[in-house]
Amino acid sequence: AIRMTQSPSSLSASTGDRVTITCRASQGISSYLAWYQQKPGKAPKLLIYAASTLQSGVPSRFSGSGSGTDFTLTISCLQSEDFATYYCQQYYSYPQGTFGQGTKLEIK
């Protein structure tokens, strides 16, 4: 099974900061990677798919990059509403998908 490892597990930042979250796959997954945002008590929300394609309606301050085994999610200018937990998901082994353990982004 493909394992997904995110780093860091938690991150403190301030409004206006640029932050980067990393996701590493245990084997190559091409660009079959998605990123989700989840707020407490809510369902996850799709941000990015195919490693770098922004989902409709998602602000352009979110961006994704990478292919193969190493991927990043970058938020260019943090807004208050961006403080949440972020998950990566590989779907190379479709239809079985695997999620990373999550990165909690907190206010400094």
Partner 1 sequence: QVQLVESGGGVVQPGGSLRLSCAASGFTFSSYGMHWVRQAPGKGLEWVAFIRYDGSNKYYADSVKGRFTISRDNSKNTLYLQMNSLRAEDTAVYYCAKDQRGYIPVWGQGTLVTVSS
Question: Closest approach of Cβ 83 to partner 1, in Å?
Answer: 17
Q: Which is nearer to partner 1, 13 or 50 (CB)?
A: 50
By the 8 A CB rule, do 88 and 100 touch? yes
φ/ψ of 64, rounded to 5, equals -130, 155
Of 105, 101, 107, give the one whose Cα is nearest residue 3: 101
Q: Which is nearer to partner 1, 9 or 15 (CB)?
A: 9
Of 80, 84, 81, give the one whose Cα is nearest residue 103: 84
- Which residues of the shown chain bind partner 1 in the complex (CB under 8 A)? 1, 32, 34, 36, 38, 42-46, 49-50, 55, 87, 89, 91-92, 94-102
Question: Closest approach of Cβ 21 to partner 1, in Å?
Answer: 14
